[in-house]
């Protein structure tokens, strides 16, 4: 293709100018709009004495927004101003510039959900040397780089509640399958491992057989097709567990519009707003999750306790977590917020996330 017109007539030149103008205008809108989120300073703050910086895995994620909402409430109650800093894409290195920014602005506490446990290490180390306390939440960093890790729930509880629900729904016997996210996701594999162990050891589940584990990569389309594949490959399938919000919603959407609706049970970890429709139309009876807002809320109070010097993040430390009472730090500097919650037709309207 030619780069320049050989016959440059007036009309063409005008068109070229207009084309450039359009692209500049587009870029300007794109940048201006992107700027408000990309640079990511959401609320007041920007350094100073009592600032707490929240660094989620990525911005614009519905789940993250609820966690951060709780975090901002918690920070306010704990007497901190908060700011949210974060990348638009959940990649290992994307958080580093934001950690550096928080350090330069003199944040007292950095609350981080790490995209990679080690990649953020050196910059967190620098932040600590500058006097910041590091609270990891949602997804842990390497324990060397943080003071405390706030975990929403005990991994084993998450696994067991899903088995309990599916067992209730299929009457304690039959074939089940798991629709997971990616084959490499640490948390997914941990839950699946606990489920397999429980199925093998608990006599209540002796008639339940796990026939397949498939991976929908947290992509709506792939999860859709994997669900179809499960149902067409395993005629006797009684239930599906999907421990991922994208997976369970895609599977529910498929089931609700297929012949299998009501014949195959579905449960897992889902967001109430995403699952409401399917709980109301009977495709899904019950699913589980934790209340993500509590996670941010407790993380904020943990930050305050670290700054005040009431805890160091050692096992056995206790700190006050506002409305949620007193929280005890467990082994490895991990504090657990609470048990998972079950969502069903009776209570789903009480939640908005």
**String of contacts with other proteins for each residue 20-49, x by CB under 8 A:** x-xx--xx-xxx-xx-xx------------
How far, in Å, CA of 139 to CA of 128, rounded? 19
Which of 78, 110, 252, 335 forms a contact with other proteins (CB under 8 A)? 252
Among 199, 220, 324, 334, binds other proteins (CB under 8 A): 220
Q: Give yes or no for a contact between 142 and 117, defined as CB atoms under 8 angstroms apart.
A: yes
Sites for other proteins among residues 70-99 (CB under 8 A): 88
Among 203, 235, 309, 316, which residue interacts with other proteins (rule: CB under 8 A)?
Answer: 235
Instruction: Work out whether 115 is an interface residue with other proteins (CB under 8 A).
Output: no
Distance CA 259, CA 264 (A): 10
Question: What is the C-alpha to C-alpha distance for residues 148 and 139, in angstroms, rounded to an integer?
Answer: 12
Burial of 135 by CB count in 10 Å (0-12 exposed, 13-18 middle, 19+ buried)? buried
Asked if 326 is part of the footprint of other proteins (rule: CB under 8 A), the reply reads no
Nearer to other proteins, 50 or 351 (CB): 351
Would you state the torsion angle of the CA atoms of residues 240, 243, 245, 251, taken in this order, to the nearest 10 degrees?
Answer: -10
Cβ proximity to other proteins: between 90 and 336 the closer is 90
Gap between the Cα atoms of 275 and 268, Å rounded: 11
3-state secondary structure 7-18: CCCHHHHHHHHH
Which residue of 257, 310, 312, 328 would you call a contact of other proteins, by CB under 8 A? 257
Q: Give me the sign of the Cα torsion angle 259, 264, 268, 274.
A: positive
Q: Is 233 in the site for other proteins (CB under 8 A)?
A: yes
Query: What binding mask, one character per residue, do residues 283-322 give for other proteins by CB under 8 A, x or -?
Result: ----------------------------------------
* Cβ atoms 244, 183 nearer than 8 A: no
CB 232 → other proteins: shortest distance, Å? 5
The correct pick among 61, 126, 189, 341 for binding other proteins (CB under 8 A) is 61
At residue 344, the 3 state secondary structure works out as strand
Q: Which of 52, 53, 55, 59 binds other proteins (CB under 8 A)?
A: 59
* Euclidean distance between CA atoms 126 and 131, whole angstroms: 9
DSSP string, 115-178: SSTTTTHHHHHHHHHTT-EEEEESS---GGG-SEEEESS-HHHHHHHHHHHHHHHHTT-EEEEE
Binding segment for other proteins among 104-112, 141-149, 200-208, 216-224 (CB under 8 A)? 216-224
Among 168, 221, 315, 346, indicate the residue that binds other proteins (CB under 8 A).
Answer: 221
CB of 284 to other proteins, least distance (A): 12
Which residues contact other proteins (rule: CB under 8 A)? 1-5, 12, 15-16, 18-20, 22-23, 26-27, 29-31, 33-34, 36-37, 59-62, 64-65, 88, 212, 214-215, 220-222, 224-226, 228-233, 235, 249-250, 252-253, 257-260, 273-274, 276-278, 280
């Amino acid at each position: 293709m030619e780069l320049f017109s050989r016959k440059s007539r007036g009309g063409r030149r005008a068109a070229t100018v207009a084309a450039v103008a359009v692209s500049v205008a587009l870029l300007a809108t794109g940048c201006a709009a992107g700027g408000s989120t990309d640079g990511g300073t959401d609320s007041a703050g920007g350094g100073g004495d009592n600032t707490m910086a929240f660094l989620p895995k990525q911005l614009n994620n519905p789940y993250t927004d609820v966690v951060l909402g709780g975090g901002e409430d918690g920070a306010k109650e704990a007497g901190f101003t908060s700011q949210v800093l974060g990348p638009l894409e959940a990649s290992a290195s994307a958080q580093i510039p934001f950690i550096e920014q928080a350090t330069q602005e003199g944040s007292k506490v950095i609350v981080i959900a790490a995209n990679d446990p080690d990649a953020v290490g050196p910059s967190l180390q620098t932040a600590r040397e500058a006097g910041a306390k590091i609270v990891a939440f949602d997804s842990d960093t390497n324990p060397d780089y943080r003071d405390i890790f706030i975990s929403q729930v005990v991994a084993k509880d998450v696994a067991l509640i899903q088995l309990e629900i599916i067992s209730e729904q299929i009457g304690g016997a039959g074939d089940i399958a798991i629709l997971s996210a990616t084959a490499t996701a640490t948390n997914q594999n941990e839950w699946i491992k606990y489920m397999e162990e429980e199925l093998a050891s608990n006599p209540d589940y002796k008639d339940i057989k796990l026939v397949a584990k498939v991976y929908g990569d947290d992509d709506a389309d792939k999860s859709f097709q994997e669900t179809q594949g499960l149902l067409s490959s395993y005629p006797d399938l009684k239930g599906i567990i999907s421990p991922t919000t994208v997976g369970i919603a895609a599977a529910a959407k498929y089931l609700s519009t297929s012949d299998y609706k009501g014949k195959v049970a579905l449960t897992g970890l889902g967001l109430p707003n995403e699952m409401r429709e399917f709980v109301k139309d009977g495709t899904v009876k019950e699913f589980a999750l934790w209340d993500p807002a509590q996670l941010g809320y407790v993380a904020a109070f943990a930050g305050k306790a670290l700054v005040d010097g009431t805890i160091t993040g050692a096992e056995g430390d206790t700190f006050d977590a506002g409305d949620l009472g007193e929280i005890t730090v467990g082994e490895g500097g991990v504090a657990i917020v609470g048990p998972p919650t079950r969502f069903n037709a009776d209570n789903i309207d009480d939640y908005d996330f």
